[in-house]
Amino acid sequence: MQFSLSYLISIFYIILITSETTAFSPKRPNLYIWLAQNSYICDPTLLNKRTHRFLTPWESVRLRCSCGDPLATKSACGRKHGNSNQKLACFRLPDPCLREYAVIFEHGGNRLSVPLPPSKPHRIVTAVRKTVTTKHSQRTPKIVSTIPVGAVLRVKKVKEKL
């Protein structure tokens, strides 16, 4: 009994250590979904290249166009602007888009499985600042009325007459 319990604990400990040190690369999504979600850096019209547009996720599934692995070919399927009946072609991905895609999905195996703990401050705090309250900060704000002053004076005069 003692042997099996220590054996199970050691197996559990080994699994725990290896699972913490081994990070799995994130699963690559459909390239065209990723292009649509990151259109702020992946849209070729933003770089004044109005010659083509990349396929939408729906078009990519329907038309079954493939330019291969985007990390290897650095391209994706698209169409020339203005002509939806034109044949599909492979167009180069914009550099910022390709860099972002490569950072996330090419080196995913080197990522940490959990974030690093926050680091301690490098400087030593020697004095604590006191917050000084002044009379100005203790004042209550004035209430601003939208009623004209003349109307208020007339109401006071009417009350005095009664």
pLDDT digits (tens, 9 = 90+) for 112-159: 455 555 555 555 555 555 655 565 556 665 655 555 555 555 656 666
The whole model's pTM is what?
A: 0.48
Q: What is the mean pLDDT of residues 34-58?
A: 81
Q: What is the DSSP letter of 106?
A: T
Higher pLDDT, 78 or 149: 78
125: amino acid identity, one letter: V
DSSP secondary structure, 39-103, as one string? HHHH-GGGGT-TTEEEPPHHHHHHHT---S-HHHH-EEEEEETT-TTSPPEEEEPPHHHHHHHHH
Task: Report residue 90: phi and psi, to 5°.
Answer: -95, 130
Higher pLDDT, 110 or 124: 124
Q: Tell me the domain boundaries of the chain.
A: 1-116
Model confidence at 111: pLDDT above 60? no
Torsion of CA 91, 94, 97, 98, to 10 degrees: 70
